[in-house]
Chains A and B, each alone.
Chain A
Amino acid sequence: MKMLHYWLEFEESMGKVWDKYLNKKVHKFHEDKRVYFEDISKPLHIFHRLMGGEKAKELQITDKRYVETSRTLLEKISFLGKEFFLTWQDEESVYLPASFAYFSTKQENEMLYYWLIAMAAQIENVTNNSFIEKNQQAMYYLTKRYSGFDVFYKSASQYLMDKYEQLSFLKSLDEQSNQDLIDDYPNPLWIYPPSITLSYANNVDSGDEELTREEDKDKSEELHMKKQANQIDDKHETDGFLAFLPESLMSIFEQVNVDRCEDDSFDEDALYHAEDLDEITVGQKQANLSARIKMDLELLPDNTVTYPLGKGHFVDEWDYKRQDYLLKYARILPQVTLNVIPIELPRRLKKTVKKIQGELDLLQLDRIKNDRLPYGDELNMDSWIEYMSHQNKSMHHQNFYTTYEKKTRDMSTLLLADISLSTEGGITQELRIIDVIKDSLMVFSEALEKLEDKFAIYTFSSLQNKKVYFNIIKNFKDKYDALIRGRIESIKPQYYTRMGAAIRESAKILDKQQSANKLLLIISDGKPNDEDRYDGRYGIEDTKKALQEIKKKGITPFCITIDLDAKEYLNYLFGQNGYAIVRDGQKLPKVLTEVYINLTK
């Protein structure tokens, strides 16, 4: 037994050595000069836009692809040289290999990424028939326009041809472009056509899918690459293996659509296996709603109570069809959340807050100069001369002084956050829009506290015109502290977005402030809508009217949205300079503060 064990161990270690030897022999890679996509992904993104690539496109990591090549004996022995990481793109993304180690310098390996990005920006919709031609065209364009790429391409292609003899077909490409040749060996400098991708995703009932995803949230991990996929028809419900005889059981049952042949336990290593698979096959069976069990778990109870402040009051609403106001139509219900637990600033936000506060420190160095005062730091010669030159001095005040005081910005800002149900939606698997809004409110409050600007925070949601909930998080008099943070933390998404009414209510509050400058900052994730007719044009027109009203009152509205399709209606509502779209929701906390500083600097 011991002997056998020893023998097995010996065989395994020999296998490892052999494998390493073969790999080294076949791959010819420079492992110590390997460059990883992750390390330079941000500059690559910028470079893609700079090269004129479509701005909305993402850069992602690609999976290996099987290519039938003519292999050397060593490759055949080692089972290597069949799979390749090739660069390709579709409408959404450019897919690049996770790392490169072809060349003997890091600089060249990195340059290969830049080259491929530039190629991808030049080439669109490559197919199997057109891709040699398109790659050649792009290559000519890039080498002609950029002397840097010219130098790189010449040395890189020469080097690759020397290392991989099969690539020498590239030399003859000018004269002939033979499809068969390219199967010899894939060229790492080219952009390849997309592999077979999953077309079935669109057919899934999205509602059901959402629910499943939500429940499995903490279990899910993301596969950071695009796999080749296949699809099977597994809709037949009779395939299940029946493991018991129903006649032997005393029970009443209905037929339930459950597929017993699949193992539904969570596979801990799913991600690992997925990465290793050549192709992923996906069935069409949908999650079975009736087979789910819901139960109450013993979790910490939510002690917060939403407390209404009075019976509410009414505001007008604009009916664009009648071109008139519906007087006292929407009922505002102010409320406040009680029993919240005061909290400190969450650790995840500390870094952002610190960074922003550092920037704000610079802002505060500005001092404001006050002229023509009866007393002060310096004598103002202009005022004195003016006084001396006046014929009738009795009418002139003797205000000759200038002072420099710390800048008081004379700003009142009301932050109005949309907390409708759509904010429950996910930005990533772990992060919902509402979480980002909460983080933003906290970071923003820290920033305003630092600036000593007066501010208030309210959230709103609505159920038709009868109930427009207007939650007070912090009014202008409240001090920003742990309790306010607790209130922000306790925000929950609910109902719809009757934006016009919320704007009018906010304007009333802002109007009472004494500051010279008043700003209404609205954070939203979509169009105004409600379950009655307050949808589509009606909602937009009412919101537009409300915005016009507040502008007349001298309040400046500004909207920050996470709605990517927002441009058209936002332009109409807020004007070209009246809004900002945040494409990466997770950046909202930082962007919000930056926008504010830019707006009020």
Chain B
Amino acid sequence: MSQTYYLPQSNEVELFSAAAQMNLPVLIKGPTGCGKTRFIESMGEQLGRDVYTVVCHDDLSAADLVGRHLISEKGTYWQDGPLTKAVRNGGICYIDEIIEARKDTTVVLHSLADYRRVLPIDRTGEVIEAHPDFMLVVSYNPGYQNVLKGMKPSTKQRFISLSFNYPKPEIEKEVLIKESGVNAQTAQKLVDIASEIRSLDDTDIQEAVSTRLLIYAGKLITKGFDPYQACMHSIVESLSDEEDVLEVLQKLITLHFAKSSDV
């Protein structure tokens, strides 16, 4: 029985399951907060595999993925990194925001992502063959444009790709009700606000409001916060620092959650 709540949008569950069966690595693209990580967690539960998540950053080295020697009373010993653990024991190794990692780091994935499915570890001299239940999943947000940080084509072309976007309004509404406990009417308002903000393009705001932020707003409302306050702190302030944009977003929230004293 799955614990994590995830509402499928189209055929992503079938595709992912098929890829898992056929030992194919998966690449997931999509904006922040649209449900990528949630999807992987839910798939891990459905497939009965552990999920090892690594969130990438500038300083992430190959050792952070593969493992390193540590020191103990008896001397040094080798400790597996999350990738090596998944390779040895089986499970889903989910490498989030892979674009943030240094290019030389991601090269260790190459031999795992093709037919070989092996992980060579230089420091211990091992070549580990992947467990039959091992699956490699990476994700990134194509919205962040950075030429010096783009994904190497040689890495990209080893994956089955799935594109994610914000959920359709009806699905998002259902997610909101389930996750934050707001009533249907408030959920509808929050979804309306989101769809309007998402109609702005990147000249106005860098990235539109995520489902995650809507859930935060919903949670604050259920907790007893005034809807206007809840939206201001979870949605408006998180989206932009520009005064004009803030003014308009604030106006939008007032329009949706008006009290007669506001207008």
Question: A: which residues have CB within 8 A of B?
Answer: 42-43, 46-47, 49-52, 55, 107-108, 111, 114, 145-152, 155, 369, 381-382, 385-386, 388-389, 517, 519, 556, 558, 577-578, 583, 598-601
Give the residues in chain B near A51, CB-CB below 8 Å: 196
Nearest-CB residue, chain B, relative to A600? B148
Contact status B69-A389, CB under 8 Å? yes
CA distance A147 to B248 in the complex (A): 16
Give the residues in chain B near A155, CB-CB below 8 Å: 263
Contact status A146-B258, CB under 8 Å? yes
Of B38-46, B89-97, B198-206, the one with at least 4 CB within 8 A of chain A: B198-206
Q: Is residue B223 within 8 Å, beta carbon to beta carbon, of the partner chain?
A: no
**Other CB < 8 Å A-B pairs besides A148-B254, A388-B69, A578-B147, 11 of them?**
A46-B248, A47-B252, A49-B201, A51-B196, A145-B192, A147-B256, A148-B257, A149-B255, A381-B71, A519-B147, A556-B147
Which residue from A43, A150, A152, A601 sits with its C-beta under 8 Å from B146? A601
Which residue from B142, B200, B247 sits with its C-beta under 8 Å from A43? B247
Contact status A517-B199, CB under 8 Å? no
Contacts A46-B245, A146-B256 known; A517 to B69 CB distance under 8 Å?
no
**Contact mask for chain B residues 235-249; partner A; CB cutoff 8 A; 1 contact, 0 none:** 000000000110110
Contacts A145-B192, A389-B69 known; A49 to B244 CB distance under 8 Å?
no
Contact status A386-B196, CB under 8 Å? no
Give the residues in chain B near A150, CB-CB below 8 Å: 258
Contact status B200-A577, CB under 8 Å? no
Contact status A385-B69, CB under 8 Å? yes
**Contact mask for chain B residues 80-115; partner A; CB cutoff 8 A; 1 contact, 0 none:** 000000000000000000000000000000000000
CA distance A484 to B200 in the complex (A): 40
28 contacts between A and B (CB under 8 A): A43-B244, A43-B247, A46-B200, A46-B248, A47-B248, A47-B252, A49-B200, A49-B204, A50-B248, A52-B199, A55-B201, A107-B263, A147-B258, A148-B254, A148-B262, A149-B258, A151-B263, A155-B263, A385-B76, A386-B68, A389-B78, A517-B148, A519-B147, A598-B145, A598-B146, A599-B145, A600-B147, A601-B146
B157 nearest CB across to chain A (Å): 15
Give the residues in chain B near A556, CB-CB below 8 Å: 147-148
Question: Sorted from nearest, which 8 A-B pairs have the closest CB atoms?
Answer: A148-B255, A148-B258, A389-B76, A146-B255, A389-B69, A556-B147, A147-B258, A46-B248
Q: Is residue B75 within 8 Å, beta carbon to beta carbon, of the partner chain?
A: yes
Q: Is residue B57 within 8 Å, beta carbon to beta carbon, of the partner chain?
A: no
Give the residues in chain B near A152, CB-CB below 8 Å: 263
CA distance A49 to B203 in the complex (A): 11
Contact status A50-B257, CB under 8 Å? no
Which residue from A108, A147, A386 sits with its C-beta under 8 Å from B69? A386
CA distance A134 to B146 in the complex (A): 46
Nearest-CB residue, chain A, relative to B249? A50
Nearest-CB residue, chain B, relative to A41? B244
B80 nearest CB across to chain A (Å): 14
Contact status B244-A148, CB under 8 Å? no
CA distance A382 to B59 in the complex (A): 14
Nearest-CB residue, chain B, relative to A111? B263
CA distance A319 to B201 in the complex (A): 38
A48 nearest CB across to chain B (Å): 10
Contact status A49-B258, CB under 8 Å? no
- Interface positions of B from 126 to 167, Cβ below 8 Å from A: 142, 145-148, 150
A97 nearest CB across to chain B (Å): 19
B227 nearest CB across to chain A (Å): 10
Q: Which of B192, B197, B244, B255 has the most CB of A within 10 A?
A: B255
Q: Is residue B178 within 8 Å, beta carbon to beta carbon, of the partner chain?
A: no
Q: Is residue B233 within 8 Å, beta carbon to beta carbon, of the partner chain?
A: no
Which residue from A114, A145, A388, A389 sits with its C-beta under 8 Å from B251? A114
Give the residues in chain A near B251, CB-CB below 8 Å: 43, 47, 114
CA distance A185 to B231 in the complex (A): 40
- Interface positions of B from 172 to 211, Cβ below 8 Å from A: 192, 196-197, 199-201, 203-204
Q: Is residue B10 within 8 Å, beta carbon to beta carbon, of the partner chain?
A: no
Which residue from A46, A146, A151, A389 sits with its C-beta under 8 Å from B260? A151
Q: Is residue B34 within 8 Å, beta carbon to beta carbon, of the partner chain?
A: no
Nearest-CB residue, chain B, relative to A49? B200
Give the residues in chain B near A145, CB-CB below 8 Å: 192
Q: Which of A146, A152, A369, A598 has the most CB of B within 10 A?
A: A146
Which residue from B59, B146, B254 sits with its C-beta under 8 Å from A599? B146
B184 nearest CB across to chain A (Å): 16
Q: Is residue B1 within 8 Å, beta carbon to beta carbon, of the partner chain?
A: no
Give the residues in chain A near B192, CB-CB below 8 Å: 145
B242 nearest CB across to chain A (Å): 9
CA distance A46 to B249 in the complex (A): 9
A458 nearest CB across to chain B (Å): 20
CA distance A248 to B263 in the complex (A): 78
Q: Is residue B63 within 8 Å, beta carbon to beta carbon, of the partner chain?
A: yes
Give the residues in chain A near B76, CB-CB below 8 Å: 385, 388-389
Give the residues in chain A near B252, CB-CB below 8 Å: 47, 50
Contact status B75-A389, CB under 8 Å? yes
Contact status A46-B69, CB under 8 Å? no
Give the residues in chain A near B256, CB-CB below 8 Å: 146-148
Give the residues in chain B near A146, CB-CB below 8 Å: 255-256, 258
Q: Which of B78, B148, B260 has the most CB of A within 10 A?
A: B148
Contact status A382-B257, CB under 8 Å? no
CA distance A265 to B71 in the complex (A): 92
Q: Is residue B22 within 8 Å, beta carbon to beta carbon, of the partner chain?
A: no
Give the residues in chain A near B257, CB-CB below 8 Å: 147-148
CA distance A42 to B199 in the complex (A): 17
Give the residues in chain A near B254, CB-CB below 8 Å: 148
Nearest-CB residue, chain B, relative to A53? B199
Contact status A50-B255, CB under 8 Å? no
CA distance A386 to B197 in the complex (A): 51
Contact status A42-B147, CB under 8 Å? no
Contacts A147-B258, A388-B76 known; A599 to B69 CB distance under 8 Å?
no
CA distance A55 to B199 in the complex (A): 10
Nearest-CB residue, chain A, relative to B206? A598
Contact status B247-A577, CB under 8 Å? no
Give the residues in chain B near A381, CB-CB below 8 Å: 71
Give the residues in chain A near B63, CB-CB below 8 Å: 382
